[in-house]
Every structure is written in structure tokens, then in C-alpha cells.
Amino acid sequence: MVRSSSFGLLVGGLATLLAATACEQQKPAGSAAETTATSSDSTQTAAAAVPASASFGKTTDGTEVQLFTLTNAHGLKATITNFGGTLTSLLVPDKDGKLGDVVLGFDDVSGYQSPAFRKSNPYFGALIGRYGNRIKAGKFTLDGKEYTLAKNNGANTLHGGNKGFDQVIWQAEPGSSAEGQTLKLTYLSKDGEEGYPGNLQVTVVYTLTNDDALKIDYSATTDKATPVNLTNHAYFNLNHGAGKDILGHEVTLPADRYTVVDAGLIPTGELRPVKGTPFDFTTPHAIGERIAQVPGGYDHNWVLNQTSGLHAAATVYEPATGRTMTVTTTEPGIQFYTGNFLDGTLTGKGGTVYGKHAGFCLETQHFPDSPNQPKFPNTILKPGDTLKSSTSYQFGIRK
């Protein structure tokens, strides 16, 4: 069974069919898939190949971790490590056909464990769980029992706790499908981990498709009722190689409402209309156009208009490179975060200093603090049910 909610989730073959259809319908003119001539033989060869693997260094406790490189028929590359299931780089073409990395990250695992990174923990590219986003006061009540979680964000719990899914070693299985090269990651979150009930078995499959999308499919089962909210925390910058900030990126969010938050970024329960506010991205706006009107910058959950199937969640256009990114998901919400807490203390790939607004996140999700908000879409996974969720980041070019 699939975890039920008022929004519903897409499962099985229908997700694959709709994803392919959505990507084809939304693929911008001049995308790599349209501008690169490929034969059916080369596509089949790329789909059949297994991702390459290499060492990504050792963790602070001496555990060797691996880096897997997924490549598609047009030469796009995604590298993912089994440490935190982290997307470390993503090479996509610009309007001149030049491949460039569009996500923030580090050259080896040491960057993700440095004292500076652990102090601020921006979660670059990581898989997030057991519960993505915030839970108020690190507490929730389920079936009459109160559970206390690890508090790692002031008085609240953020992205799973002190040691979330971003810091564990996932079991990795490289492979392929008809869509492209894949990396299957599995992890058993044991009963009581970070205060959550139940043994939660999680599977995440990354696919770099041959029509230039990075697709992430999540599934999970449990032996006790437990809240679950899985996502990926990639920081995108479609002009990352130039060391530019993201304020010039143009964003569209098909969402007429957002979840209002208090000073601790905990939802108040109000779903407020975006019309007439700097939260209105129903038509394209540059990120920097109105960000000064939002204290602290954007770090909010938008309530997506579409409520079933694989539906539109965001589009992004970067004028200097011509790159576009279209996000589709089965989730009811999306957290749009503009790198407000990056402060220049982290230096990433190629010596790039990550200052304020160096990247933005589009985290598809259920809403923050849902275990304490009964009017929000359900996030409780029960024994016998299976959580299934899918998100796709489709890349293209606008000339």
C-alpha cells in the first residue's frame, strides 16, 4: 500500500510513464536532447552501461566511501557518494554546449566532514531523513505516545536530528534501466534512531535519464508507525562555475499559497495566498528582485497547486548560460531556500568560496512540522504501507 494523504502519491509504472511524458512536454527548445544527434544504438548502449565507481576518501572514523559517476547518452554526468547519498556534482550543458557543474559541493568526503561544514551543516546535496525540514520543539505525539527527538536547530529538530541520513553510509548498487544509468541506495534506520519509532527501511534510486533529467525515486517501509519526509538537499547554481550568486536566476513556482512561519521557521498552520506578496512566483521573477522584502531571505514551503500525479513544482532559468531546470514531483510542497546562511567560511570545488546566496535549494517534500499540524497532508507511515515518492530535475537550454 501507499501512504495515504489528501494529495496522494504516484506509484509503479504510472510514475515512469508520466515522468517521460512530462519531460517531453516541458523540455525547452534547444535542449541537449534536441541539439545532439544520437542513434538508438548509442542510447541503448548508454542505458545498459553501469556507472563507474572510485574512492571518495575516508570518513573521520576511517571508513572508505565511494563515488559513483552516472553518464547519459549526451555526456551529462552526475556523481553521487554513498556517504549521505550525496549528489556531489552535476554536469549539464550551457547554451554553447559547454558542460558545467550546477551544484555546490566538495572534491572529496573530507569537505563534508570538516569542522567548518559540520558547524553550519548546509547539507550540500545530501539525502534528508528521517524527517526533512523542521519539527517544533523536537516533539510529536503518535497513537497517544509522546516522542522526543534530538534537537539540532535551536529548540527544534531539523532534517532528521544530530545524525540524519546525510551522515550515514548507504549501501550502494550501481545499475541501469531503460531510462539510463542508476544508483540504488538502501539504509536501515533502526528503531529509536534520533528518537524516531520503528525500523525504517529506505530505498532511494537516482537515475540520470537519456533525456537529460536527474530523477530521484524514494520508497520506505516500517514496522511501527512513524513520521517520514524524504527529500534531497542539493544546492543549485546554474552558473556555478563562474562563482556567481543566484540572485539573477528567474524562478517560477506554480503555487498560490505558502506556509507562514514564525521566527523559528516553524509553520503557524496558516496557508497564506501569495498574491500581492514577494512570495508570488506564479509568474517568473528573479530571485533577487524582491528578496530584500523577506526578512532573512526565502526559506519557506510553497503549497503546490497540483495535488496528484507527477506534477509541476518549479522552473528555473539562468540568463547568462541559458540553462533551464524544470522540477516535477509527486510531493504536495516544495521548500525554496536561497542559501541565506552561507557565509563564506566554506570553499568548495575549484576553490569556489560559498558566500551568501551562492546556491538555492528546491526541496520537494511534505510540509514542515506536519506531525504537529493535523490539517497538513499526512506524513505518518504505518506498518504494511509503503511510502513512494518521485522527483525529477529536467535540464535544458533557452537560447
Grid coordinates of 296 = 532573512
The dihedrals phi and psi of 166, each to the nearest 5 degrees, come to -70, -15
What are the CA-CA distances from residue 170 to residues 164, 321, 389 (Å)? 12, 34, 19
Active site residue 249: no
Per DSSP, the three-state class of 334 is strand
Grid coordinates of 105 = 559541493
Grid coordinates of 178 = 531503460
In contact, 369 and 267? CB cutoff 8 Å: yes
Closest CA to 280 of 253, 300, 262, 299: 253
Query: Cell match 529536467: residue?
Result: 394
Whole-angstrom Cα distance, residue 247 to residue 236?
12
Catalytic residue, chosen from 159, 193, 194, 233, is 233
Active site residue 233: yes
133 marked as binding residue: yes
234 marked as binding residue: yes
Whole-angstrom Cα distance, residue 77 to residue 185?
18
How far is Cα of residue 59 from the mean position of the Cα atoms in its chain? 23
The conformational region for residue 201 under phi > 0 = left, psi -120 to 50 = alpha, else beta, is beta
Indicate the DSSP class of residue 116.
H
Closest CA to 5 of 357, 311, 379, 306: 379
Whole-angstrom Cα distance, residue 145 to residue 160?
19
366 marked as binding residue: no
Catalytic residues, which ones?
233, 363
Q: Where is the binding site, in residues?
A: 133-134, 233-235, 299
